[in-house]
Structure 1
Amino acid sequence: MKTILILLTFFTFTTITSQNSYEKGMSKAFELWGSQKPDEAINLFERIAKAEKENWIPYYYAAQVHIITTFGIKDAEEIESRLKKGQDFLNEARTFSKDNAEILIMEAMLNTAYVAYNPSVYGMTHSAKVEELYQRAKKLDPENPRATLNHAEWKMGSAKFWGKDPKAFCPEVEKAILYFEKEANNNIPFYPKWGMDQVTRIQQNCK
Protein backbone atom coordinates (compact mmCIF):
# COMPACT_ATOMS: atom_id res chain seq x y z
CA MET A 1 0.00 0.00 0.00
CA LYS A 2 3.02 2.28 0.11
CA THR A 3 2.49 3.25 -3.51
CA ILE A 4 -1.00 4.57 -2.85
CA LEU A 5 -0.02 8.22 -2.45
CA ILE A 6 2.21 8.97 -5.46
CA LEU A 7 0.21 12.07 -6.21
CA LEU A 8 2.61 14.84 -7.19
CA THR A 9 0.16 16.54 -9.48
CA PHE A 10 1.30 20.07 -8.89
CA PHE A 11 2.15 20.47 -12.59
CA THR A 12 -1.51 20.75 -13.46
CA PHE A 13 -1.64 24.08 -11.70
CA THR A 14 1.29 25.84 -13.36
CA THR A 15 -0.39 27.03 -16.52
CA ILE A 16 -1.94 30.15 -15.07
CA THR A 17 -1.06 33.11 -17.28
CA SER A 18 -2.41 35.96 -15.22
CA GLN A 19 -1.62 35.60 -11.54
CA ASN A 20 -2.21 37.59 -8.41
CA SER A 21 0.06 37.31 -5.38
CA TYR A 22 -1.85 34.31 -4.04
CA GLU A 23 -1.57 32.43 -7.32
CA LYS A 24 2.11 33.30 -7.68
CA GLY A 25 2.79 32.08 -4.15
CA MET A 26 0.91 28.85 -4.68
CA SER A 27 2.66 28.19 -7.99
CA LYS A 28 6.00 28.78 -6.26
CA ALA A 29 5.07 26.33 -3.51
CA PHE A 30 4.23 23.64 -6.08
CA GLU A 31 7.51 24.39 -7.84
CA LEU A 32 9.40 23.84 -4.57
CA TRP A 33 7.56 20.58 -4.02
CA GLY A 34 8.42 19.43 -7.53
CA SER A 35 12.08 20.34 -6.90
CA GLN A 36 12.21 17.89 -3.99
CA LYS A 37 12.03 20.64 -1.37
CA PRO A 38 8.97 19.51 0.58
CA ASP A 39 9.64 21.43 3.77
CA GLU A 40 10.15 24.68 1.90
CA ALA A 41 6.91 24.03 0.04
CA ILE A 42 5.07 23.30 3.30
CA ASN A 43 6.39 26.48 4.90
CA LEU A 44 5.25 28.54 1.93
CA PHE A 45 1.81 26.91 1.85
CA GLU A 46 1.47 27.70 5.55
CA ARG A 47 2.51 31.33 5.11
CA ILE A 48 0.00 31.69 2.28
CA ALA A 49 -2.73 30.12 4.42
CA LYS A 50 -2.12 32.57 7.24
CA ALA A 51 -2.17 35.50 4.84
CA GLU A 52 -5.35 34.28 3.15
CA LYS A 53 -7.15 34.01 6.51
CA GLU A 54 -10.13 31.86 5.48
CA ASN A 55 -8.83 29.82 2.55
CA TRP A 56 -8.68 26.07 3.21
CA ILE A 57 -6.71 25.18 0.07
CA PRO A 58 -3.14 26.12 1.20
CA TYR A 59 -3.62 24.16 4.43
CA TYR A 60 -4.88 21.21 2.38
CA TYR A 61 -1.73 21.13 0.26
CA ALA A 62 0.57 21.61 3.24
CA ALA A 63 -1.04 18.48 4.69
CA GLN A 64 -0.72 16.61 1.40
CA VAL A 65 3.01 17.29 1.14
CA HIS A 66 3.55 15.97 4.66
CA ILE A 67 1.49 12.85 3.94
CA ILE A 68 3.18 12.00 0.66
CA THR A 69 6.65 12.66 2.08
CA THR A 70 6.16 9.97 4.72
CA PHE A 71 6.15 7.32 2.01
CA GLY A 72 9.73 8.14 1.10
CA ILE A 73 11.28 8.03 4.56
CA LYS A 74 11.97 5.33 7.14
CA ASP A 75 12.59 7.30 10.32
CA ALA A 76 9.66 6.53 12.63
CA GLU A 77 9.94 9.75 14.60
CA GLU A 78 9.85 11.86 11.44
CA ILE A 79 6.89 9.93 10.05
CA GLU A 80 4.92 10.40 13.27
CA SER A 81 5.81 14.09 13.33
CA ARG A 82 4.80 14.69 9.72
CA LEU A 83 1.49 12.87 10.07
CA LYS A 84 0.65 14.80 13.22
CA LYS A 85 1.45 18.09 11.46
CA GLY A 86 -0.58 16.94 8.47
CA GLN A 87 -3.57 16.32 10.72
CA ASP A 88 -3.13 19.76 12.28
CA PHE A 89 -3.22 21.37 8.83
CA LEU A 90 -6.36 19.45 7.90
CA ASN A 91 -7.98 20.56 11.13
CA GLU A 92 -7.18 24.15 10.18
CA ALA A 93 -8.60 23.61 6.70
CA ARG A 94 -11.80 22.21 8.18
CA THR A 95 -12.39 25.35 10.25
CA PHE A 96 -12.86 27.26 6.98
CA SER A 97 -14.69 24.59 4.99
CA LYS A 98 -16.91 22.16 6.86
CA ASP A 99 -18.39 19.11 5.14
CA ASN A 100 -15.72 19.21 2.45
CA ALA A 101 -15.24 15.93 0.56
CA GLU A 102 -11.71 16.83 -0.54
CA ILE A 103 -10.57 17.36 3.05
CA LEU A 104 -12.15 14.05 4.08
CA ILE A 105 -10.33 12.28 1.23
CA MET A 106 -7.02 13.76 2.32
CA GLU A 107 -7.67 12.71 5.90
CA ALA A 108 -8.40 9.19 4.68
CA MET A 109 -5.04 9.25 2.91
CA LEU A 110 -3.37 10.42 6.13
CA ASN A 111 -4.87 7.50 8.03
CA THR A 112 -3.80 5.17 5.22
CA ALA A 113 -0.26 6.46 5.72
CA TYR A 114 -0.46 5.49 9.39
CA VAL A 115 -1.56 1.96 8.47
CA ALA A 116 1.15 1.60 5.82
CA TYR A 117 3.82 2.87 8.19
CA ASN A 118 2.97 0.62 11.13
CA PRO A 119 0.11 -1.83 10.47
CA SER A 120 0.61 -3.74 13.71
CA VAL A 121 -0.01 -0.57 15.74
CA TYR A 122 -2.45 1.35 13.55
CA GLY A 123 -4.07 -1.33 11.40
CA MET A 124 -7.09 -2.03 13.58
CA THR A 125 -7.92 1.53 14.67
CA HIS A 126 -7.04 3.53 11.58
CA SER A 127 -8.43 1.12 9.00
CA ALA A 128 -11.90 1.80 10.33
CA LYS A 129 -11.23 5.53 10.10
CA VAL A 130 -10.16 5.23 6.47
CA GLU A 131 -13.35 3.42 5.53
CA GLU A 132 -15.52 5.90 7.44
CA LEU A 133 -13.83 8.93 5.86
CA TYR A 134 -14.21 7.62 2.31
CA GLN A 135 -17.85 6.79 2.94
CA ARG A 136 -18.49 10.29 4.27
CA ALA A 137 -16.69 11.88 1.31
CA LYS A 138 -18.70 9.82 -1.19
CA LYS A 139 -21.94 10.72 0.56
CA LEU A 140 -21.09 14.42 0.29
CA ASP A 141 -19.87 14.16 -3.30
CA PRO A 142 -21.04 10.87 -4.88
CA GLU A 143 -19.20 11.47 -8.18
CA ASN A 144 -15.91 12.66 -6.74
CA PRO A 145 -13.29 10.73 -8.74
CA ARG A 146 -10.62 10.92 -6.02
CA ALA A 147 -12.96 9.45 -3.41
CA THR A 148 -14.00 6.65 -5.75
CA LEU A 149 -10.50 5.82 -7.02
CA ASN A 150 -8.67 6.00 -3.71
CA HIS A 151 -11.39 4.10 -1.90
CA ALA A 152 -11.16 1.39 -4.55
CA GLU A 153 -7.41 1.14 -4.09
CA TRP A 154 -7.82 0.99 -0.33
CA LYS A 155 -10.29 -1.88 -0.67
CA MET A 156 -7.98 -3.64 -3.13
CA GLY A 157 -5.15 -3.45 -0.62
CA SER A 158 -7.40 -4.78 2.12
CA ALA A 159 -8.55 -7.62 -0.12
CA LYS A 160 -4.95 -8.63 -0.81
CA PHE A 161 -4.16 -8.53 2.91
CA TRP A 162 -7.02 -10.90 3.68
CA GLY A 163 -6.24 -13.20 0.75
CA LYS A 164 -9.20 -12.11 -1.36
CA ASP A 165 -9.39 -11.09 -5.00
CA PRO A 166 -8.81 -7.33 -5.50
CA LYS A 167 -10.43 -7.55 -8.95
CA ALA A 168 -13.80 -7.28 -7.24
CA PHE A 169 -13.20 -3.55 -7.00
CA CYS A 170 -12.09 -2.96 -10.58
CA PRO A 171 -15.55 -1.68 -11.59
CA GLU A 172 -15.04 1.12 -9.06
CA VAL A 173 -11.84 2.12 -10.87
CA GLU A 174 -13.75 2.25 -14.15
CA LYS A 175 -16.40 4.36 -12.47
CA ALA A 176 -13.71 6.74 -11.22
CA ILE A 177 -12.42 7.17 -14.78
CA LEU A 178 -15.88 8.27 -15.89
CA TYR A 179 -16.03 10.72 -13.00
CA PHE A 180 -12.64 12.16 -13.96
CA GLU A 181 -13.80 12.60 -17.55
CA LYS A 182 -16.84 14.60 -16.57
CA GLU A 183 -15.39 16.39 -13.56
CA ALA A 184 -16.62 19.95 -13.73
CA ASN A 185 -14.13 22.76 -13.89
CA ASN A 186 -14.63 25.60 -11.46
CA ASN A 187 -13.11 29.03 -11.10
CA ILE A 188 -11.45 28.36 -7.76
CA PRO A 189 -7.67 28.53 -8.27
CA PHE A 190 -5.82 25.37 -7.23
CA TYR A 191 -8.97 23.46 -6.35
CA PRO A 192 -7.98 19.73 -6.14
CA LYS A 193 -8.07 17.97 -9.51
CA TRP A 194 -5.40 15.33 -9.02
CA GLY A 195 -5.73 11.57 -9.42
CA MET A 196 -6.23 10.64 -13.07
CA ASP A 197 -2.52 9.90 -13.45
CA GLN A 198 -2.87 7.16 -10.83
CA VAL A 199 -5.47 5.11 -12.71
CA THR A 200 -3.01 3.06 -14.78
CA ARG A 201 -1.01 2.07 -11.70
CA ILE A 202 -4.11 1.05 -9.77
CA GLN A 203 -5.44 -0.91 -12.74
CA GLN A 204 -2.47 -3.25 -12.39
CA ASN A 205 -4.54 -4.92 -9.68
CA CYS A 206 -7.10 -5.82 -12.34
CA LYS A 207 -4.78 -7.96 -14.45
Structure 2
Amino acid sequence: MKTLAMILTLITAVAVNSQTSYEKGMKKAFELWGDKKPDEAINLFERIARAEKENWLPFYYAGQVHIITTFGLKDATEIETRLKKAQDFLNEAKTFSKDNAEILIMEAMLNTAYVVYNPSVYGMTHSAKVEELYQKAKALEPKNPRAMLYHAEWKMGGAKFWGKDPKAFCPEIEKAILYFENETKRDIPFYPKWGLDQVERIQQNCK
Protein backbone atom coordinates (compact mmCIF):
# COMPACT_ATOMS: atom_id res chain seq x y z
CA MET A 1 0.00 0.00 0.00
CA LYS A 2 2.87 2.34 0.79
CA THR A 3 4.35 1.64 -2.62
CA LEU A 4 1.05 2.42 -4.36
CA ALA A 5 0.71 5.64 -2.39
CA MET A 6 4.20 6.69 -3.41
CA ILE A 7 3.45 5.94 -7.07
CA LEU A 8 0.25 8.00 -6.96
CA THR A 9 2.13 10.86 -5.30
CA LEU A 10 4.80 10.77 -8.00
CA ILE A 11 2.16 10.69 -10.78
CA THR A 12 0.43 13.69 -9.25
CA ALA A 13 3.70 15.57 -8.93
CA VAL A 14 4.61 14.87 -12.54
CA ALA A 15 1.15 15.96 -13.72
CA VAL A 16 1.43 19.23 -11.80
CA ASN A 17 4.99 19.87 -12.94
CA SER A 18 4.06 19.13 -16.54
CA GLN A 19 1.60 22.01 -16.55
CA THR A 20 2.85 25.18 -18.16
CA SER A 21 2.92 28.44 -16.24
CA TYR A 22 0.06 29.55 -18.53
CA GLU A 23 -2.11 26.59 -17.52
CA LYS A 24 -1.35 27.04 -13.82
CA GLY A 25 -2.10 30.74 -14.04
CA MET A 26 -5.38 30.28 -15.89
CA LYS A 27 -6.57 27.65 -13.42
CA LYS A 28 -5.68 29.92 -10.51
CA ALA A 29 -7.56 32.83 -12.10
CA PHE A 30 -10.69 30.69 -12.49
CA GLU A 31 -10.35 29.56 -8.87
CA LEU A 32 -10.19 33.18 -7.72
CA TRP A 33 -13.31 33.98 -9.72
CA GLY A 34 -15.06 30.95 -8.26
CA ASP A 35 -14.05 32.10 -4.77
CA LYS A 36 -15.82 35.43 -5.43
CA LYS A 37 -12.62 37.40 -5.84
CA PRO A 38 -13.36 38.97 -9.25
CA ASP A 39 -10.79 41.74 -9.15
CA GLU A 40 -7.99 39.35 -8.21
CA ALA A 41 -9.09 37.07 -11.05
CA ILE A 42 -9.16 39.97 -13.51
CA ASN A 43 -5.69 41.11 -12.48
CA LEU A 44 -4.29 37.62 -12.93
CA PHE A 45 -5.99 37.15 -16.32
CA GLU A 46 -4.48 40.46 -17.41
CA ARG A 47 -0.99 39.50 -16.21
CA ILE A 48 -1.25 36.24 -18.11
CA ALA A 49 -2.44 38.08 -21.21
CA ARG A 50 0.52 40.48 -21.10
CA ALA A 51 2.92 37.57 -20.71
CA GLU A 52 1.33 35.48 -23.46
CA LYS A 53 1.50 38.35 -25.98
CA GLU A 54 -0.78 36.89 -28.69
CA ASN A 55 -3.36 34.83 -26.80
CA TRP A 56 -6.90 36.23 -26.89
CA LEU A 57 -8.34 34.01 -24.14
CA PRO A 58 -6.97 35.76 -21.01
CA PHE A 59 -8.19 39.14 -22.31
CA TYR A 60 -11.57 37.56 -23.12
CA TYR A 61 -11.97 36.18 -19.60
CA ALA A 62 -10.83 39.42 -17.96
CA GLY A 63 -13.62 41.14 -19.88
CA GLN A 64 -16.13 38.45 -18.99
CA VAL A 65 -15.47 38.73 -15.25
CA HIS A 66 -16.05 42.49 -15.39
CA ILE A 67 -19.31 42.03 -17.34
CA ILE A 68 -20.73 39.27 -15.14
CA THR A 69 -19.81 41.23 -12.00
CA THR A 70 -21.86 44.26 -13.07
CA PHE A 71 -25.10 42.29 -12.95
CA GLY A 72 -24.82 42.18 -9.16
CA LEU A 73 -23.96 45.85 -8.68
CA LYS A 74 -26.01 48.97 -8.04
CA ASP A 75 -23.33 51.67 -8.02
CA ALA A 76 -23.52 53.45 -11.39
CA THR A 77 -19.90 54.60 -11.38
CA GLU A 78 -18.54 51.12 -10.75
CA ILE A 79 -20.81 49.60 -13.40
CA GLU A 80 -19.73 52.14 -16.01
CA THR A 81 -16.06 51.69 -15.10
CA ARG A 82 -16.22 47.90 -15.30
CA LEU A 83 -18.03 47.89 -18.62
CA LYS A 84 -15.53 50.30 -20.15
CA LYS A 85 -12.65 48.16 -18.92
CA ALA A 86 -14.39 45.07 -20.27
CA GLN A 87 -14.64 46.67 -23.70
CA ASP A 88 -10.94 47.53 -23.58
CA PHE A 89 -10.06 43.92 -22.81
CA LEU A 90 -12.29 42.63 -25.62
CA ASN A 91 -10.75 45.12 -28.03
CA GLU A 92 -7.33 43.73 -27.14
CA ALA A 93 -8.60 40.18 -27.60
CA LYS A 94 -9.78 41.10 -31.09
CA THR A 95 -6.31 42.24 -32.10
CA PHE A 96 -5.17 38.62 -31.78
CA SER A 97 -8.29 36.87 -33.05
CA LYS A 98 -10.37 38.58 -35.71
CA ASP A 99 -13.83 37.34 -36.75
CA ASN A 100 -14.16 35.43 -33.49
CA ALA A 101 -17.73 34.38 -32.64
CA GLU A 102 -16.96 34.01 -28.93
CA ILE A 103 -15.68 37.57 -28.63
CA LEU A 104 -18.74 38.86 -30.51
CA ILE A 105 -21.01 36.97 -28.11
CA MET A 106 -19.20 38.52 -25.15
CA GLU A 107 -19.57 41.97 -26.71
CA ALA A 108 -23.28 41.30 -27.10
CA MET A 109 -23.42 40.46 -23.38
CA LEU A 110 -21.52 43.65 -22.60
CA ASN A 111 -24.07 45.74 -24.49
CA THR A 112 -26.86 43.79 -22.81
CA ALA A 113 -25.34 44.76 -19.46
CA TYR A 114 -25.59 48.43 -20.46
CA VAL A 115 -29.27 48.01 -21.36
CA VAL A 116 -30.05 46.13 -18.14
CA TYR A 117 -28.22 48.70 -16.03
CA ASN A 118 -29.88 51.79 -17.55
CA PRO A 119 -32.51 51.04 -20.20
CA SER A 120 -33.69 54.65 -20.45
CA VAL A 121 -30.19 55.79 -21.47
CA TYR A 122 -28.83 52.77 -23.33
CA GLY A 123 -31.93 50.94 -24.53
CA MET A 124 -32.23 52.76 -27.84
CA THR A 125 -28.52 52.92 -28.67
CA HIS A 126 -27.30 49.52 -27.48
CA SER A 127 -30.21 47.21 -28.31
CA ALA A 128 -29.41 47.37 -32.00
CA LYS A 129 -25.77 46.58 -31.22
CA VAL A 130 -26.77 43.47 -29.27
CA GLU A 131 -28.84 42.17 -32.18
CA GLU A 132 -26.11 42.94 -34.70
CA LEU A 133 -23.41 41.21 -32.65
CA TYR A 134 -25.46 38.03 -32.18
CA GLN A 135 -26.26 37.95 -35.89
CA LYS A 136 -22.56 38.28 -36.76
CA ALA A 137 -21.60 35.55 -34.30
CA LYS A 138 -24.23 33.18 -35.71
CA ALA A 139 -23.11 33.93 -39.26
CA LEU A 140 -19.56 32.92 -38.30
CA GLU A 141 -20.64 29.87 -36.27
CA PRO A 142 -24.27 28.90 -36.95
CA LYS A 143 -24.09 26.09 -34.39
CA ASN A 144 -22.46 28.01 -31.58
CA PRO A 145 -24.55 27.12 -28.50
CA ARG A 146 -23.83 30.36 -26.64
CA ALA A 147 -24.88 32.49 -29.60
CA MET A 148 -28.08 30.52 -30.01
CA LEU A 149 -28.98 30.42 -26.30
CA TYR A 150 -28.25 34.00 -25.34
CA HIS A 151 -29.68 35.45 -28.52
CA ALA A 152 -32.88 33.57 -27.71
CA GLU A 153 -32.87 35.00 -24.19
CA TRP A 154 -32.36 38.49 -25.60
CA LYS A 155 -35.28 38.09 -28.00
CA MET A 156 -37.45 36.68 -25.22
CA GLY A 157 -36.77 39.82 -23.19
CA GLY A 158 -37.74 41.96 -26.15
CA ALA A 159 -40.94 39.97 -26.67
CA LYS A 160 -41.94 40.50 -23.03
CA PHE A 161 -41.23 44.22 -23.31
CA TRP A 162 -43.47 44.57 -26.36
CA GLY A 163 -46.22 42.38 -24.92
CA LYS A 164 -45.55 39.40 -27.19
CA ASP A 165 -45.18 35.71 -26.39
CA PRO A 166 -41.56 34.78 -25.53
CA LYS A 167 -42.38 31.11 -26.16
CA ALA A 168 -41.85 31.76 -29.87
CA PHE A 169 -38.12 31.46 -29.23
CA CYS A 170 -38.22 28.25 -27.18
CA PRO A 171 -37.24 26.07 -30.19
CA GLU A 172 -33.99 28.03 -30.35
CA ILE A 173 -33.19 26.94 -26.81
CA GLU A 174 -33.70 23.32 -27.84
CA LYS A 175 -31.26 23.89 -30.69
CA ALA A 176 -28.76 25.39 -28.26
CA ILE A 177 -28.95 22.29 -26.06
CA LEU A 178 -28.17 20.12 -29.06
CA TYR A 179 -25.28 22.39 -30.02
CA PHE A 180 -23.86 22.18 -26.50
CA GLU A 181 -23.88 18.40 -26.76
CA ASN A 182 -21.99 18.50 -30.05
CA GLU A 183 -19.43 21.25 -29.45
CA THR A 184 -16.32 20.54 -31.49
CA LYS A 185 -13.80 22.68 -29.59
CA ARG A 186 -14.12 21.02 -26.18
CA ASP A 187 -10.52 19.81 -26.18
CA ILE A 188 -8.91 23.22 -26.69
CA PRO A 189 -7.57 24.30 -23.27
CA PHE A 190 -9.67 27.04 -21.71
CA TYR A 191 -11.74 27.53 -24.86
CA PRO A 192 -15.19 28.95 -23.90
CA LYS A 193 -17.56 26.14 -22.93
CA TRP A 194 -19.84 28.00 -20.54
CA GLY A 195 -23.61 28.45 -20.79
CA LEU A 196 -25.15 25.01 -20.46
CA ASP A 197 -25.89 25.59 -16.77
CA GLN A 198 -28.08 28.58 -17.73
CA VAL A 199 -30.43 26.65 -20.00
CA GLU A 200 -32.87 25.73 -17.22
CA ARG A 201 -33.09 29.34 -16.04
CA ILE A 202 -33.81 30.65 -19.54
CA GLN A 203 -36.31 27.87 -20.19
CA GLN A 204 -38.50 29.27 -17.42
CA ASN A 205 -39.78 31.61 -20.12
CA CYS A 206 -41.20 28.59 -21.93
CA LYS A 207 -43.56 27.56 -19.14
TM-score by length of 2: 0.91
Question: Does structure 1 retain, via aligned residues, the 8 Å contact 2:156–2:205?
Answer: yes
Other structure's SS at 1:190 match? coil
Q: How does 1:111-190 map to 2 (within 5 A)?
A: 111-190=111-190
1:188 to partner: Cα distance: 2.4
Cα distance in 2, alignment partners of residues 122 and 39 from structure 1: 25
Q: Could you tell me which runs of 5 or more consecutive residues in structure 1 were left unpaired when the two chains were aligned.
A: 1-15
Question: What is the CA RMSD across the aligned residues, in angstroms?
Answer: 1.1
Number of residue pairs aligned between Structure 1 and Structure 2? 192
1:19 to partner: Cα distance: 2.0
Show the counterpart of 2:56: 56
Show the counterpart of 1:80: 80
Cα distance in 2, alignment partners of residues 71 and 196 from structure 1: 19
1:182-201 deviation digits (Å, cap 9, x = unpaired): 11135421000001101011
* Structure 1 letter corresponding to 2:106: M
Other structure's SS at 2:71 match? helix
1:120 to partner: Cα distance: 0.1
* Structure 2 letter corresponding to 1:42: I
Q: Could you tell me which runs of 5 or more consecutive residues in structure 2 were left unpaired when the two chains were aligned.
A: 1-14
Cα distance in 2, alignment partners of residues 177 and 32 from structure 1: 28
1:69-112 deviation digits (Å, cap 9, x = unpaired): 00111000000000000000000000000000000000000000
Cα distance in 2, alignment partners of residues 71 and 130 from structure 1: 16
* Structure 2 letter corresponding to 1:97: S
* Structure 2 letter corresponding to 1:76: A
1:99-131 deviation digits (Å, cap 9, x = unpaired): 000000000000000000000000001000000
Question: Does structure 1 retain, via aligned residues, the 8 Å contact 2:186–2:193?
Answer: no
Show the counterpart of 1:22: 22
The list of structure 1 runs, each at least 4 consecutive aligned residues, that deviate by more than 3 angstroms after superposition, is none
Show the counterpart of 1:91: 91
Return the structure number with greater helix share. Answer: 2
| More deviation, 28-37/181-190 | 181-190
Cα distance in 2, alignment partners of residues 47 and 180 from structure 1: 30
Bigger Cα Rg: 2
Other structure's SS at 1:72 match? coil
Question: Does structure 1 retain, via aligned residues, the 8 Å contact 2:185–2:191?
Answer: no
TM-score by length of 1: 0.91
